[in-house]
Structure 1
Amino acid sequence: MSETTESAAALGPRPSLRERNKARTRDAIRSAAMHLFEKQGYAATTVAQIADAADVSHTTFFRYFQSKEQVVLSDDLDEARSELKNAIEPGLDRFGLVRRLITDMFQVGQDDEWASNPARFRLIQTDPALITAQQADADRMLVELRGFIADYLGVEADDLRLRVFIAAAAGVLFHVVSNTGDGEIPTLDECLEALNLLEAGLPV
């Protein structure tokens, strides 16, 4: 097998024409939205304006995104994140598992052009409506992760010790993300250092 063929095989099957067209439409809506947000502000921009700038109908917009907030907050990485979780080997302790989750999910986000878009991240960190919506999304994600971590560690999802552990880990990570300065995306090292401090008992 040639090197080119091996590379193609590693990337998996090529998306269908329908899938590629859907991806182009999503990208067009996101691009139009970000241009409008930069030009006139997030709050002043309407769904109708975004749809018009992306050259799609109002109905088509809502086929792709539930709301204006989700244009910014959503990405296309749910399947990739699920595969990463399923690929984690057994036997890690609770901190090892969280480190692995952070490392793998950080990498998959960093490799995605939209998820790692600095302008998108700054908008999420500075606009009040998006801060609120992002927190709601984060709360839902934590519920899902709690179930996964509980299954992995062999404990009940409502175990108090597990809930406190996840709340503490999430708290220090959200602190790092929210305090990078000027809306910058935190580095993986910063996130892992914060988790190390938690494991060490938060020494000062």
Structure 2
Amino acid sequence: MRIESGSLRERKKWQTRQAIRREALRLFTEQGYADTTVEQIAEAAEVSPRTFYRYFRVKEAVLISADHSPLIVAAFIAAPRHLTPIAAYEYAVTEVFGSLSEQDREADLIGQQLLYQVPEAHGLIYAELIKLIGLITDALQHRLDGPTDEAERSVLAGAIVGVIMGAAHNTPLPEKALPSALSILDAKMSW
């Protein structure tokens, strides 16, 4: 019974987070990012401003969908073993973004468009990319055959994230550009 209540609690947290994000993106679209306050977002999502800050440290954090990276990394680890690490990452991205609902895809598109337009959010982009390098570095332990040290895995993770940065900069959901860019990196790597 305890597991079920924990699951219910997590589901409610997820729903609250999504409601806050959905209302924030709606308000940003209707009245502009700068003209939307945390208080307005909280009221629209039917939560208190304090609850808003429990889910999002700052207003611009709403623009980042932090939900995809762990899913992509899990799909990366589970990708077919015959794939190179770069091809496995491309596979994982395709799996995760291919399974998005239209509503999630639209929210991510709006959030990412604003992410590049709002100067206050640029530091968050950097922090998310550094976090992603760490996640990929750890995940590479499960993908690479033979011993590799953390520095080697980190360099490979940094290369993958560098390609993501190049393909995604000012291009929300770069579903066509990213696989092509990852393929270029894969072709240039000597395995």
TM category, shorter: 0.7 to 0.9
- Taking the aligned partners of 1:105 and 1:28, their CA distance within structure 2 comes to 21
Check conservation: 2:115, 2:121, Cα contact below 8 A: yes
How high is the TM-score relative to the length of structure 1?
0.71
Counterpart CA distance in 2 for 1:147 and 1:21 is 29
Percent identical: 31
User: In the aligned structure 1, how far is the partner of 2:69 from the partner of 2:113?
Assistant: 22
How many aligned positions are there?
182
Larger helix fraction of residues: 2
- CA distance in 1 between counterparts of 2:44 and 2:106 reads 23
Amino acid at match of 2:151: D
Q: Secondary structure at the match of 2:103?
A: coil
What letter is aligned with 2:155?
V
Q: CA deviation at 1:140?
A: 0.8
Distance 1:97 1:178, change over 3 A: same
Correspondence 1:26 to 2:27: no
Choose 1 or 2 for highest CA Rg. Answer: 1
Q: Which segment is superposed worse, 123-132 or 71-80?
A: 71-80
Which residue, 13, 28, 51 being the options, matches 1:60? Answer: 51
Between the aligned partners of 1:60 and 1:124, the Cα distance in structure 2 is: 22
Q: 1:81·1:105 contact (CA, 8 Å) conserved in 2?
A: yes
For residues 22 and 31 of structure 2, the distance between their equivalents in structure 1, rounded to whole angstroms, comes to 14
From 144, 156, 174, the equivalent of 2:149 is 156
Deviation at 1:112, TM superposition (A): 6.8
**Structure 2: stretches of 5+ with no match in the other structure:** none
Aligned to 2:26: 35
Moved over 6 A (4+): none
Contact 2:129–2:161, Cα closer than 8 Å, also in 1: no
1:108-164 Cα shifts (integer Å, max 9, x gaps): 4x34733552222211222112232122111111111112114421411112xx443
Structure 1: how far apart are the matches of 2:112 and 2:46?
Answer: 25
Tell me: CA distance 1:88–1:199, structure 2 relative to 1, closer, same or farther (3 Å). closer
Mapped contact 2:85–2:143 kept (Cα < 8 A): no
With over 3 angstroms needed to count, the CA separation of the structure-2 counterparts of 1:115 and 1:136, relative to structure 1, is farther
What TM-score does the superposition give when structure 2 sets the normalisation length? 0.75
Give RMSD over aligned pairs.
3.1
The residue number in structure 2 matching 1:113 is 103
Alignment correspondent of 1:5: none
